[in-house]
Amino acid sequence: MTTKDEVKIKAKELTPEEQLKSMTEKVDAKEKIKEDAVSKEADETFKVEEGRSKFKREDWKDRFAREAREKLDNWVPRTQLGRDVRAGKIENIDEIFAEGRKIMEPEIVDLLIKDLKTDSLFIGQAKGKFGGGKRRAFRQTQKKTKEGNVLTFGVMAVVGDGHGHVGLGYGRASETLPAKEKAFRNAKLNIVKIPRGCASYDCSCDEEHSIPNIVEGKCSSVSVKLMPAPQGTGLVIGDEMKKILGAAGIKDIYSKCLGNTKTTFNTAKACMKALNKLGDIKL
């Protein structure tokens, strides 16, 4: 028996009401498919006409990057160095260091260094039971006055491109965001060129993955000594100091820290003073 005969037998077994119901369901299914295709085509047409097809919701990172580009485009330089950079006469930041000129505007660094990385050091501590608060980027201080307690927030920021340029800055304000902006601004103004090399006895490569000689920096009771290390060693130093060395492009190093190293504020300054001594040494 063929399939057609089976369908006829099944149709004969169904009542007229059931046959009408099955036919109605089939017709409704076909009409629904056609309506979905028409609505999809109309929706795409409306998107193209209204320009919604190219619209993409930007996240906070894209929004900050867009605002930074707009601010840089609208920048009007006030110093002669800024005018030279804006006009394209200076295309490399190393030319500024070679001439010994001082950077007075942070937009100069933004224009000359495209892939500038920024980070904040954890110099503060959140409130916790029995002094067990977590570390945070904002250091809160308090001053007693006649009007009451006046709060001040401090932030220490580090900027660098990973190719020998690094800067450390500190900013204070009555609120957290202005303090953070001041810190990044000061870090860009304090950016310096750090020579790199490979001076370890266990490594004979020519790559710039470490420092060329032993240097030492001191701030208050903290003393930081940096020593060259072979490839694969990594940064043998505190976590917060790794941010400074990583921003400078140093991948392998040995260190020796003495004093109250829990005070990240002084330890970071000592580490930066040690790196600055590399620039003072003529190789």
Give the separation between CA 62 and CA 37, rounded to whole angstroms.
Answer: 35
Q: Which residues contact 79 (CB under 8 A, 6 or more apart)?
A: 104, 105
Burial class (CB in 10 A: 0-12, 13-18, 19+), 44: exposed
Residues 176-204: tens digit of each pLDDT: 999 999 999 999 999 999 999 888 888 87
Percent of the chain with pLDDT over 70: 88
- Surface-to-core class of residue 109, CB atoms within 10 Å of its CB (0-12 exposed, 13-18 middle, 19+ buried): buried
Per-residue confidence (pLDDT) for residue 216, from 0 to 100:
95
pTM exceeding the 0.95 threshold for the entire prediction:
no
Q: What is the per-residue pLDDT for 53?
A: 45
When the pLDDT of each residue in the chain is averaged and rounded to a whole number, the result is 86
Per the CB < 8 A criterion, the answer to whether 112 and 82 are in contact is no
Q: Is the pLDDT of residue 71 over 90?
A: no
- pLDDT tens digit string along 123-167? 988 877 666 678 888 999 899 988 889 999 999 999 999 999 999
The residue written with tokens 């870090």 in the block is: 187
Structure tokens at 251: 């991948």
Share of the chain above pLDDT 90, in %: 53
For tokens 């800024």, name the residue.
82
Q: What is the pLDDT of residue 193?
A: 93
pLDDT at 169 over 90: yes
Structure tokens at 240: 């917060």
